[in-house]
Structure 1
Amino acid sequence: MEKGEITKRKVMEAAVSLFNVKGYSGTSIRAIAEKAGVNVALISYYFGNKQGLMEKLMIEFLEGYTMNIEKEYQNLNSSSAKQCLNVIVENLLKYQQQNHHLARFVHREVTLDSTLVRELMMTYFMREKHYLKAVIETGIKRKEFNHISSDFVAIQIRALVTMPFSQPQYIREIYHLSPNENYFVQKYLQHIEKWLNEFLYKETLYKKQLNIVSAK
């Protein structure tokens, strides 16, 4: 990695750390420069200003987030919708775990109404919605999934996948669990897959119905 890229990474990591503790408004460019151990002028050189730095952080995170969905969506023609959806959920959990500080910052910022957030919604969150709904609707069409609203299923999956990383303090203080640890991600992934088996996947429902009939 080139020296300039190393400096940019140091600045971005310092910014995320401070934004999560003091908030975006409560963090100055000077404080970021001091934490990163760089000259203030370098932040202006690489990012323009604090707004430019924030935009870079959010776009980089959301690019990686949606790429993890899109990458697996490309395999939908050669795999089952169930397998595709399971891999997407696993990839998103692991991606956020690996970037948990940045994930917390971005998830919090997108709850605010601003021109930037509206642009990100139209660019990245519409892509997320498109791919998730496409996988769900393909599963319904192939009769792998129960015939339920793809909109609400997509909303529920997003909520399940992002909640531990948008509210890690709640998870730690109330449940004494750490979303950034491998153990949490593995157990939480198992829980989501079980929920999908019970709620969405038709094969599991069909087996349950057979068991009920057999028991009579």
Structure 2
Amino acid sequence: MAKPAAAPGITKENILLSAVSLFNTKGYDGTSVRDIAKKASVNAANISYHFHGKQGLLESCFTRFFEAYLECLEAEADKLEFTPADECLKRAVFNILQYQSENHLLSRFVLREMSIDSQIVREIISSYLMKERYLFKRFFERGEEQNRFTSMPVSMFIIQLKSMLSIPFLNSQYLREVWHVFPQEQFFVDRYYASLEQWIDQCLLTRQAAIPQPLHTIMRSLP
């Protein structure tokens, strides 16, 4: 009896995951459509059908990563009107870490490709990363309005924050081989986030915002 054909959605997802795995080990240029088809156990024509070739797969990798990444920021930016900006920013940072950990191969590949000057990278910068800039600025503007953030060069802080969010996944082999740390594990996410939270508090919070609320004030604010 012939083996049932996989559902189109499953086939497409399998192709994408197989491509990400190969792109990480062999590099984008070193991976052929035939390699991807073999790993995904599909005909090469399936790749043309779903992605219009290897370039389409590359674009799908970028789209998947950055749309989920921006969702982490957007979800918290939408809460800025009724939630302290530092709380929103911290949750966004945690959610980004969590997403990158759960998708560490995709994260590593995309972050690595972003260091190459190419047409697709320029397109990503003009769309996704300009939106990222806008969302980060919303956190900082609201934080200053709430008198919770100190006045500081926003660009410098964001550059540092983005570096700390990406380095563990970009250099995952270094973490594994030298420090025996695994970015795809929840233990790493929790411990690493704790250090980032402390850094955010030290760099951003005003003296007033850093003072813990008295217990009676906290109790009055509870429903």
Q: What TM-score comes out, normalization by structure 2 length?
A: 0.89
In the other structure, the counterpart of 2:217 is none
Shift of 1:18: 0.4
Query: Are 1:198 and 1:204, in contact at CA under 8 Å, matched by a contact in 2?
Result: no
Shift of 1:70: 0.8
Count of residues in correspondence between the two structures = 207
Shift of 1:100: 0.6
2:127 to 123, 131, 141: 123
Shift of 1:205: 8.0
CA-to-aligned-CA distance 1:178-212 (integer Å, 9 cap, x gap): 011000000000000011111211147865xxxxx
Instruction: Could you tell me which runs of 5 or more consecutive residues in structure 1 were left unpaired when the two chains were aligned.
Output: 208-216
CA distance, structure 2, for counterparts of residue 54 and residue 124 of structure 1: 15
Letter in 1 for 2:155: D
Query: Are 1:10 and 1:36, in contact at CA under 8 Å, matched by a contact in 2?
Result: yes
Shift of 1:141: 2.6
In the other structure, the counterpart of 1:134 is 138
CA distance, structure 1, for counterparts of residue 174 and residue 137 of structure 2: 29
1:146 to 132, 144, 150: 150
- RMSD over aligned CA atoms reads 1.6
Verify: 1:95 aligned to 2:96, yes or no. Answer: no
In the other structure, the counterpart of 1:191 is 195
Other structure's SS at 1:24 match = coil
In the other structure, the counterpart of 1:50 is 54
Q: Which runs of 4+ in 1 moved over 2 A?
A: 203-207
Q: How does 1:33-182 map to 2 (within 5 A)?
A: 33-182=37-186
Shift of 1:147: 1.1
Query: % of aligned pairs identical?
Result: 40
In the other structure, the counterpart of 2:14 is 10
CA distance, structure 1, for counterparts of residue 210 and residue 21 of structure 2: 48
Instruction: Could you tell me which runs of 5 or more consecutive residues in structure 2 were left unpaired when the two chains were aligned.
Output: 1-5, 212-223
Letter in 2 for 1:110: M
Letter in 1 for 2:54: K
**Please, which moves more after superposition, 132-141 or 87-96?**
132-141
Shift of 1:118: 0.3
Query: Are 1:197 and 1:204, in contact at CA under 8 Å, matched by a contact in 2?
Result: no
Q: What TM-score comes out, normalization by structure 1 length?
A: 0.92
